[in-house]
Amino acid sequence: METITYNALEKKVLSYTPFDVHKLRRAYIYASKYHQDQKRASGEPYIIHPVNVAYILAMMNADVDTVIAGLLHDVVEDTESSLEEIEKKFNKTIRSLVDGVTKMTKFSSSNKKELTASNIRKIVVSLVRDPRIIIIKLVDRLHNMRTLEYKSLEKQQEKALETLEIYVPLAYYIGASKIKDELENISFRYLKPSLYGDISKQRDDLIKETTNLLNDTLVKVVGLLKKNGVKVKLEIRYKDTYSIYKKIITNHKFETIHDIICIKVLTKNIKDCYLALMYIHEIYTPINNYFKDYIAKPKTNMYKSLHTTVFGPDNRLIQFQIRTFDMERVAIYGLTSYWFKYKNNACIEMQKDLENNFQFFKSLKELDSTILDNIEFLTRIKQELFSSNIYVYTTSGEVIELPNGATVLDFAYKIHTDVGNNMVAAIVNNEAVSFDYVLENQDRVRIITDPNAYVPKEEWLNSVITTKAKNKITEYMKENQEKEDKNTKN
């Protein structure tokens, strides 16, 4: 792996923003001073790691305070530096960012499990305060995973598993697919090296086998679209190894996975996306079951694109992903794409978008406000946020994200507390269902309410799995009991 120098970092930051170079240099000197006697497991000077973290952040056009926090992210945790000193030498924002990514290793705890849960909670909940903290931590983990070869086998597998359970879902939720995909594949390589090798070989063989065919396809599609006045940029992409593995373990065979081969079609505007779709369907027969319009209905992490799988040349299944250049940037970088668009106001826009448009953000705040125990909190976020999720629809077509195993009651409380408390019936896919009906992907759900009904009931607690639903049912019953006791006394 290429070693990134401070000069390369400075040059990269200067390429996208004017800034106080002396401030960045002071941060580098400060970090170098405190890490000067430390070595990485590879034997290299420790300062290489924070410089690489800062450089990856700069590759995302991160604001200068975030880049500096990347340089300083380990000094408080691993050296005698202090947050007070960082604030004095730099500013409050940098102190806050460094504090956010600093593990609580300096605090006494005889329980390693509790300490681990506390640290993870601190990182996850930092989204509520400043999403840049999560981004720095993801980049920190990314560079550590890239250099995991120097750790023991036990440590490799421990870090790989933790990455899949915690950091990959976080990257997904903020839409940072570039980071997510790399974290997944590195983790997979360390956890299941033999299987990783087998699938990678199949993938490599497919690439060699189809390269010429796909290049011919690009020429044909570009020619057709250009002829009809649709300007596009086309890119060939193959599904990554871990994503293929996830399909295989759900009883798919390699050769039947419909989206291993993908052609990305990038346009300037939404109108051209739909025009490109129309013309592609003129020459290649689509498979209707695999058409998705994520422009009209974006994913819950704000991903937008048209997906269509067609019978391509030689009856090869090819997926076309059609989106604008702006959508492509969001698809790759997620929230971090705001640095490209909003420059110095990016953090404000990130926070605003998180609060208004990201469903998991509200669920995270709910869990954080109701669960005090750190180990229980970690268990619940793994079960409710970081496990396999399902996506169901309201009657108006809104997509609702729920943990796998959620019922119509969980759905009702996700919509609103009053909807859950006043629910008297549920209709799924035009059929009446019981309150404990377990929802499946793409179900259409209608909740019927009656404000005069005597609900919730205690047995409802056996029909929900989400923390919010359980808390609201318990809260309602407690308040109702208090009212009854008060009436009895009167």
CA distance 69 to 80: 17
Q: Which of 287, 314, 311, 284 lies closest to 209, judged by CA?
A: 314
Bridge partners (DSSP) of residue 307 are 292, 321
How distant is the alpha carbon of residue 186 from its chain centre? 16
Q: Which of 122, 117, 64, 134 lies closest to 93, judged by CA?
A: 64
Q: Is 78 a catalytic residue?
A: yes
Q: At what angle do helices 64-72 and 21-35 cross, to 10 degrees?
A: 10
Within 10 Å of residue 11's Cβ, how many Cβ atoms? 11
Cβ distance 411 to 400 under 8 Å? yes
DSSP per-residue string spanning 334-347: GGGGHHHHHGGGHH
Identify the burial level of 208 via C-beta atoms within 10 angstroms of its C-beta, where 0-12 means exposed, 13-18 middle and 19 or more buried: exposed
Q: Are strands 233-238 and 399-403 parallel, antiparallel or unpaired?
A: unpaired
**Tokens of residue 132, six digits:** 């840049």
Q: Is 293 a catalytic residue?
A: no
**Active-site option among 78, 85, 293, 368:** 78
**Active-site option among 37, 44, 77, 410:** 77
| Strands, E assignment, 47-183 | none
Cβ distance 305 to 321 under 8 Å? yes
Can you list the pairs that 286-291 forms with residues at least 24 positions away whose Cβ atoms lie under 8 Å? 286/310, 287/258, 287/311, 287/317, 290/258, 290/259, 290/319
Enzyme catalytic residues: 77-78
